[in-house]
Amino acid sequence: MAKSIDSSSKGEWQSLFDGKTTSGWHTYGKQTIGKAWTVEDNALHLDASAKKDWQTAEGGDIVTDQSFDNFHLKLEWKIAPTGNSGIILFVQEDPAKYPYAWHTGPEVQVLDNAGHPDARIQKHRAGDLYDLIASTPETVKPAGQWNQVEIISHNNQLTVKLNGTQVLSTTLWNDEWKSLISKSKFAQMPGFGMFQSGKIALQDHGDDVWYRNILIKRL
């Protein structure tokens, strides 16, 4: 059984979500978590019924209380029809300098490929490293069904598995990585994708999304 998170633990699975409370998470740049994030059937649920621009009133991206460098993250997600969200890595929580979580950390895309217009754009589909690297093969399940994702960051290697299949692998922070960033929408964001430690964020993109069984192991 996974233990509650302990910053000194290494090599053991730790729970980032107890299935009952939002403990361990807070809205980016705030001390507490927005009321739109609730716990429902052992899952973290973003209730996006109250829209505010492209996000949700009393929602916002949420981040872990702790930071991570080398880690193996496992979780399950499901998205509402036409929905969009994401799992953002190495987030630097400095809202005065970086207004949003995605201004510093690369994002593993969470998307309804069949219904969201982003799916027509290469590198914007579910499992992709958003606007950086396309995933292959495509193993995502339809909207409303649970998908299991594993994200492994070990030294400078990043691997993503979706529903048990490796769909993406890349080397971080080298010249090739810097070139990918320079050709992306993040090119003018100082420091984007170059931080080697940071928080993990779950994105509020204004659509209902659910996350559960969130486990991490420090490597």
Mean pLDDT of the chain: 95
Confidence of residue 52 (pLDDT cuts 50, 70, 90): confident
Tell me the average pLDDT across 32-60: 95
CATH for 11-218 is: 2.60.120.560
DSSP lists the bridge partners of residue 95 as none
Per residue in 198-212, pLDDT tens?
A: 999 999 999 999 999
Tokens of 213: 């069984």
Task: Name the residue ranges covered by the structural domains of the chain.
Answer: 11-218
Tokens of 106: 């690369």
Asked if the peptide bond before residue 137 counts as cis, ω within 30 degrees of 0, the response is yes
Residue 2, pLDDT score = 58
Check whether 5 has a pLDDT greater than 70. Answer: no
Tell me the average pLDDT across 138-147: 98
Residue 10, pLDDT score = 79
Burial of 33 (0-12, 13-18, 19+ CB in 10 A): buried
**DSSP codes of every residue in 31-66:** SS--TTEEEETTEEEE--SSEETTEETT---EEESS
pTM of the model: 0.95
Range list of H helices, the chain: 175-182
Residue 51, pLDDT score = 87
Give CA separation, 28 vs 96, 98, 118, 122, in Å.
Answer: 11, 10, 24, 28
Residue 148, pLDDT score = 98
CA distance 127 to 86: 9
Per residue in 72-116, pLDDT tens?
A: 999 999 999 999 999 999 999 999 999 999 999 999 999 999 999
What is the three-class DSSP state of 8?
coil
What are the backbone dihedrals phi and psi of residue 149, each rounded to the nearest 5 degrees, phi first? -120, 145
Confidence of residue 3 (pLDDT cuts 50, 70, 90): low
Tell me the average pLDDT across 50-57: 91
The better pLDDT of the pair 120, 11 is held by 120
